[in-house]
Amino acid sequence: MSKMLSKFQLPRLLCHSLCRRKNSTNLLPFNFLYNPFCTTADSTQIAESTELPSWVKFSETQNSATADSDDDFVIPSLAHWVQNHQHHAHGKVVKPTLSETDVDKISKILKNRYPSPDDVVQALNGSGVIASTSLVEQLLKRFSNDWIPASGVFVWAKVQTGYRHSPELYDSMVDVLGKSRKFHTMWELVEEMNQLGGYVTLVTMSKVMRRLAKAGRYEEAVEAFRNIVRFGVSKDIVAMNVLMDALVKENSVEHAHDVFLEFKNVIPLDSHSFNVLINGWCEARKLDHAKKAMEDMEKHGFQPNVSSYTCFIKAYSHEKDFRKVDEILDEMKDKGCTPNVVTYTIVMHALGKARRVTEALEVYEKMKRTGCVPDTSFYSSLIFILGKAGRLKDARDLFEDMQKQGVSRDVLTYNTLISCYCSHLQEETALKLLQKMEEDSCKPDLKTYAPLLKMCCRKKRMKVLYILLDHMFRNDISIEVGTYSLLVHGLCKNGKLEHACLFFEEMVLKGMVPNDCTYKMLMEEVGGKSMTKAKEHIEKLMSNAKEQRSI
């Protein structure tokens, strides 16, 4: 342990003056634009920007929104990487087991808008592509937030001679339908799986219950659990804990508690059941209920463990009540319950967010005294704290030192450091980290791109933004409503209303319902610019989206 964080001796970190480092970057134009709204051109080809539709243009009484000179800039040091992604689908991140041609060919067809899955099937029947498990798996990931093309691919492959979906692909399709709130179709698919025999597992029903809970259909999620044995899945404590956890995570600890009361006398409980409730009450800031759950835990013969106490520590940390945090740590010590790395990471992270950086860094000393070894999440949290304090060099040095200390860098670590650089608008370094992820065979996720997209909106780097969206697609990451909302908000704030309108339209066309705040913000912005046709079009889109959601 004495060698741990060797380059980061605590005195050096504690006495380091807070500073913000800004990189000056000379940017040059780079002639490349990816247009995600084009439904006929191959996204890998260089193409000129298409003419904006009439509804999205500024009124003639306003100055036309001329292209900002920043729109077409790409950092010179990254131009080769951009060109490489322009011509190659995956680079080093994805290791395809099938021909890229098939994936790209089908993806190009799916980028068109289709009114129903049957229309997708008809379009794919003429593709000449033979279905395979790996092809379907990759396409379901790429279109996981767009249920029509995903369903079309699933049906198209299923009817091909000699092909049969694996149970895992059925589970993926169940999740896609649940995410899109197509619950009637989702249940039809579950029934089909049941008829196949052995296809429905706890994994399947977990996806069903979580998606129902996510949609606020708490009673339906509970009912799915009540009837779980009909699908050959045991109604045991593992399944019950999954349900309770789903309800808690979707802000309904009350329903989780009702489930607990309903089944506690017929299903043998375990310590995890109580910890789920304790966590739920703590998240809801109902600490008296959480304490009562801990008392019940002891009455049932289970001793509160580190997870139980950490729930309270997280709650008090969130409220910045660090006196209570210390009291709980002392109580744990008295009861012989040693805090783990999760406990310490939560405390350190909370102190850092409260700008008590010195105390946050001192948490490491407490860890050493208990022999607790930092893990990837601890390092990521420390990187976040240093980045938030403006100490980007220290954050980067810590990032580089991780592997020397035997701790591997994962997607969370990269995401944290990328977010730090994006928050300080250091775009070259942030984008080079994305490039480094590829070199390290660390696949990005949705949270990797969110700060990068937000930064592009702030700096009006539209060409880079579209390149990133294409990069996401090629890494099989499907954009969901949160990312679309981020784009609409960011582009509105920075005067890119035409692009904001087009992203809003694409979100609705994929069957998503924009948040009310996103809709209102866009309406206010286009109204202020007298974009009459755009305002009318957006109103119609929102109305249609809500109507479809209610079906």
Whole-angstrom CA distances from 352 to 375, 395, 402, 472 are: 18, 13, 20, 31
- Structural contact between residues 479 and 469, judged by C-beta atoms closer than 8 angstroms: yes
- Per-10-residue mean pLDDT, the chain, length 551: 45 40 32 31 34 63 49 66 51 42 90 93 93 95 95 96 95 97 97 96 98 97 97 97 98 97 96 97 96 96 96 96 95 93 96 92 86 92 93 94 90 96 94 92 95 94 91 92 95 92 93 93 91 91 83 63
Maximum distance among all Cα pairs of the chain, rounded to whole angstroms: 75
* 458 lies in the same domain as 485: no
pLDDT of residue 550: 65
Asked if residue 434 is part of any domain, the answer here is yes
Would you state the pLDDT for residue 364? 85
Residues 6+ apart with CB under 8 A from 169: 133, 136, 137, 140, 154
Whether residue 456 is found in the same domain as residue 494: no
Burial of 350 (0-12, 13-18, 19+ CB in 10 A): buried
* 491, 453: one domain: no
**73: β partners:** 29
pLDDT value of position 366: 85
Q: How would DSSP label each residue in 408-458?
A: ---HHHHHHHHHHHHHTT-HHHHHHHHHHHHHTT----HHHHHHHHHHHHH
Residue pair 438/92 in contact (Cβ under 8 Å)? The answer is yes
Same domain, 495 and 446: no
Query: Is the separation of the CB atoms in 277 and 241 below 8 Å?
Result: no
Q: Which residue has the tokens 């607790």?
A: 372
493 part of a folded domain: yes
Examine the domain organization and report whether 433 and 483 are in the same domain: no
d(CA 541, CA 57): 17
DSSP string, 460-507: T-HHHHHHHHHHHHHTT----HHHHHHHHHHHHHTT-HHHHHHHHHHH
Domain CATH for 378: 1.25.40.10
Return the structure tokens found at 153.
Answer: 């691919």
153 part of a folded domain? no
Enclosing domain of residue 537: 479-550
Instruction: Record the tokens describing residue 6, joined without a space.
Output: 């060797």
Q: Specify if 437 maps to a domain.
A: yes
Residues 6+ away with beta carbon under 8 Å from 189: 170, 173, 174, 177
Evaluate whether residue 107 is within a structural domain: no
H or E segment and range at residue 73: strand 73-74
Query: Could you tell me if residue 343 is inside a domain?
Result: no
Q: How far apart are CA 148 and CA 302, in angstroms?
A: 48
Query: Does residue 518 lie within any of the structural domains?
Result: yes
Domain count, the chain: 2
Question: Residue 184, exposed/middle/buried by CB under 10 A (0-12, 13-18, 19+)?
Answer: exposed
Q: What are phi and psi of 28, to 5 degrees?
A: -125, 150
Note the pTM of the prediction, 2 decimals: 0.82
Instruction: Using the 3D structure, point to which of 462, 496, 521 is the last residue of a domain.
Output: 462
Residue 446 lies in a domain: yes
Residues 489 and 539 placed together within one structural domain of the fold? yes
The set of residues, in sequence order, having a beta carbon less than 8 Å from that of 299 and lying 6+ positions away, is none
Residues 153-164 as b or e (16 or more Cβ within 10 Å = b)? bbebbbeeeeee
CA dihedral 258, 264, 265, 268 (to 10 degrees): 160
Same domain, 429 and 397: yes
